[in-house]
Amino acid sequence: MRIPVIACTVLLLAGCGTYEYRDNAAAADANPLCMSRPSQPGEPVSRDCERDASGHWSSNRDGQPVDFKRTRDDR
Protein backbone atom coordinates (compact mmCIF):
# COMPACT_ATOMS: atom_id res chain seq x y z
CA MET A 1 0.00 0.00 0.00
CA ARG A 2 2.91 2.30 0.63
CA ILE A 3 4.38 2.08 -2.89
CA PRO A 4 1.25 3.25 -4.78
CA VAL A 5 0.85 6.20 -2.40
CA ILE A 6 4.49 7.23 -2.85
CA ALA A 7 4.25 6.79 -6.63
CA CYS A 8 1.12 8.95 -6.83
CA THR A 9 2.70 11.62 -4.65
CA VAL A 10 5.82 11.72 -6.80
CA LEU A 11 3.79 11.99 -10.00
CA LEU A 12 1.65 14.79 -8.62
CA LEU A 13 4.66 16.75 -7.39
CA ALA A 14 6.53 16.22 -10.66
CA GLY A 15 3.78 18.08 -12.50
CA CYS A 16 4.25 21.14 -10.28
CA GLY A 17 7.91 21.81 -10.94
CA THR A 18 10.85 21.45 -13.27
CA TYR A 19 14.40 20.22 -12.79
CA GLU A 20 17.19 21.78 -14.84
CA TYR A 21 20.49 19.90 -15.19
CA ARG A 22 23.64 21.63 -16.40
CA ASP A 23 26.86 19.89 -17.36
CA ASN A 24 29.82 21.52 -19.11
CA ALA A 25 32.07 18.45 -19.46
CA ALA A 26 31.47 18.23 -23.23
CA ALA A 27 32.44 21.90 -23.71
CA ALA A 28 35.63 21.37 -21.68
CA ASP A 29 36.49 18.26 -23.73
CA ALA A 30 35.97 20.14 -26.99
CA ASN A 31 38.25 23.03 -25.98
CA PRO A 32 41.80 22.34 -27.30
CA LEU A 33 43.32 24.43 -24.50
CA CYS A 34 41.96 21.96 -21.94
CA MET A 35 43.77 18.92 -23.34
CA SER A 36 46.71 19.23 -20.93
CA ARG A 37 45.83 18.69 -17.29
CA PRO A 38 47.81 19.83 -14.27
CA SER A 39 50.39 17.25 -13.22
CA GLN A 40 50.58 18.28 -9.56
CA PRO A 41 47.74 18.45 -7.06
CA GLY A 42 46.77 22.01 -6.26
CA GLU A 43 47.88 23.50 -9.60
CA PRO A 44 45.37 26.03 -10.92
CA VAL A 45 43.00 25.04 -13.69
CA SER A 46 41.47 27.51 -16.11
CA ARG A 47 37.84 28.35 -15.36
CA ASP A 48 36.91 27.28 -18.90
CA CYS A 49 38.43 23.83 -18.30
CA GLU A 50 36.71 23.08 -15.00
CA ARG A 51 34.10 20.36 -15.28
CA ASP A 52 30.96 21.19 -13.39
CA ALA A 53 27.60 19.46 -13.09
CA SER A 54 24.70 21.05 -11.26
CA GLY A 55 20.97 20.77 -10.95
CA HIS A 56 18.25 23.23 -10.01
CA TRP A 57 14.70 22.47 -8.90
CA SER A 58 12.14 25.16 -9.69
CA SER A 59 8.44 25.41 -9.00
CA ASN A 60 7.91 28.78 -10.68
CA ARG A 61 4.89 29.07 -12.92
CA ASP A 62 6.45 31.16 -15.71
CA GLY A 63 4.89 29.15 -18.53
CA GLN A 64 2.39 30.50 -20.99
CA PRO A 65 -1.20 29.27 -20.81
CA VAL A 66 -2.21 26.82 -23.53
CA ASP A 67 -4.98 27.98 -25.85
CA PHE A 68 -7.30 25.05 -26.64
CA LYS A 69 -9.82 27.11 -28.62
CA ARG A 70 -10.41 25.85 -32.13
CA THR A 71 -10.79 28.28 -34.97
CA ARG A 72 -13.49 27.89 -37.59
CA ASP A 73 -10.91 26.58 -40.09
CA ASP A 74 -9.96 23.69 -37.78
CA ARG A 75 -13.53 22.34 -37.48
Structural domain count, the chain: 1
**Exposure of 65 in the CB half-sphere (CA atoms within 13 A):** 3
What distance in Å separates the CA atoms of residue 51 and residue 44, rounded to the nearest whole number? 13
Taking the model in full, what pTM does it have?
Answer: 0.43
Percent of the chain surpassing pLDDT 90: 0
User: Would 25 be classed as within a structural domain?
Assistant: yes
**Mean pLDDT over residues 51-58, rounded?**
85
The domain of 24 spans 1-33
Inform me whether the pLDDT recorded for 41 exceeds 80.
yes
User: Would 15 be classed as within a structural domain?
Assistant: yes
User: Would 50 be classed as within a structural domain?
Assistant: no
C-alpha dist (Å) from residue 27 to 11, 15, 24, 30, 34: 33, 31, 5, 5, 10
User: Would 46 be classed as within a structural domain?
Assistant: no
User: Would 43 be classed as within a structural domain?
Assistant: no
